Amino acid sequence: MITNPTKQRTLRGHKATRPNPRAANTTDHQAALAWRLTPRDRWIIRMLHEHRVLTSHQITALAFPSFRSGRMRLRELYLWSVVDRFQPFISVGTAPMHYVLAPAGASVLAAEDGLDVKDLGYRHDRAFGVAHSLRLAHTVGVAEWFTALVDRARHSDPDERTALAAWWSEARCGRHFGDLIKPDAYGRWSTAGGQIEFFLEYDFGTEALSKLAGKLAGYAALAEATGITTPLLVWLPTSRREAAARRLLHRAWRELDDPQSVPVATAAAELLNPQIAHPSPADEIWLPLDAVGGTSYRRMLHRLLDAWPYVPPPNSAPGTDSAARTDSPAPTPMPPPATSRGHTSSGGETS
């Protein structure tokens, strides 16, 4: 899907599902969930709360050894009212099942965090409202982008020590940086060859490129306010749109008071090779907007900092951790199998 994402205009409501007997969210049911839910189930609950919606394929790639095992477990979680699901209607083919957090899952999450469900900010109607959101395809596309990174990490050589160490949702980014900028996501990608943290702007081809370029001023203001230089990755659907975006981005970048405070790199989805086993944004497809020394060529994700030697790597010195300087809440959620523990929204282990 990352090489051919579903467009918003192809989604036409959602298909009705056959009724299934589901458990009511009672006190007795909550007691039963205490011994039914595994650490992986609880991780899925946190992921759905963090990212609003994930497809069956994404959850399987993130946390299960096979699609069949993931589908069976997700059906159980659905029958236990831990998750809800819907299936968008598309004109060609069949869309995967989309999962959101259900009331029983929200109760479990709130209890773990010592909160009331209302303090968690959860409402069932709002959770399910994403099924009709005009940003559904964009939200799923961002999740697919990060899922591809996790899938690459799970299937890489252990000696490469590859991991997605952080993945913040748009909502979490908005809570921390929304007064200046609201990126589509924040992430941290780590390998034995290097580590990079970044903001992501995920372009679906529907936003005016001038508006995209105008966001650089907000990222420059954020860098000035925090004293942290964080690269900005701009993901576009085609090479043609990437070329047009680069012209506008470069013009806006040069007009910044301190252009080096906002290192920018672009890539296009069509540059991914669908013939390889696990194509992902970690591949050699990133082109820095302005590399030091004037040498600009496509690089792998973890090698982008080579183009910007003035940007310190994450955690290069005590007290320079970006999440720590933004008063981050407790680490959420835990990562799937085969990823390393991180300090942000993708830290921990699961069975």
pLDDT, tens only, 38-59: 999 999 999 999 999 999 999 9
Q: How confident is the model at residue 336 (pLDDT cuts 50, 70, 90)?
A: very low
Give the H or E element holding residue 124. helix 124-129
Q: How confident is the model at residue 24 (pLDDT cuts 50, 70, 90)?
A: confident
- At 278, the amino acid letter reads H
Does residue 8 register a pLDDT over 90? no
Least confidently predicted of 158-162, 191-195, 320-324: 320-324
Does residue 97 register a pLDDT over 80? yes
Spatial contact of 346 and 335, defined as CB atoms under 8 Å apart: yes
Q: How confident is the model at residue 93 (pLDDT cuts 50, 70, 90)?
A: confident
- pLDDT tens string 187-216: 999 998 889 999 999 998 888 999 999 999
Q: Which residue has the higher pLDDT, 264 or 121?
A: 264
Q: Per mean pLDDT, which of 131-135, 204-208, 231-235, 330-334 is the most reliable?
A: 231-235
Mean pLDDT, residues 135-155: 94
Does residue 64 register a pLDDT over 90? yes
pLDDT in the model for residue 193: 80
Q: What angle do CA 321, 290, 149 make, to 5 degrees?
A: 50
Give the H or E element holding residue 51. helix 39-51
Does residue 338 register a pLDDT over 60? no
Does residue 67 register a pLDDT over 50? yes
Q: Which residue has the higher pLDDT, 347 or 192?
A: 192
Torsion region of 134: left, alpha or beta (phi above 0 gives left; psi -120 to 50 gives alpha)? alpha
Q: Over pLDDT 70: what percentage of the chain?
A: 83
What mean pLDDT is reported for the chain?
85
Q: Which residue has the higher pLDDT, 19 or 331?
A: 19
Does residue 339 register a pLDDT over 50? no
pLDDT in the model for residue 207: 87
Does residue 12 register a pLDDT over 50? yes
Q: Which residue has the higher pLDDT, 296 or 351?
A: 296
Spatial contact of 142 and 184, defined as CB atoms under 8 Å apart: yes
Mean pLDDT, residues 115-128: 91
pLDDT in the model for residue 11: 65
Domains of the chain: 8-134 (1.10.10.10), 138-326 (no CATH)
Give whole-number Cα distances, 79 to 11, 208, 292, 348, in Å: 26, 43, 55, 27
- pLDDT tens string 246-297: 999 999 999 999 999 999 999 999 999 988 888 999 999 999 998 765 667 8
- Measured distance CA(145)–CA(202) in Å, rounded: 9
Give the H or E element holding residue 107. helix 103-112
SS3 for 243-283 is HHHHHHHHHHHHCCCCHHHCCEEEEEHHHCCCCCCCCCCCC
Q: How confident is the model at residue 89 (pLDDT cuts 50, 70, 90)?
A: confident
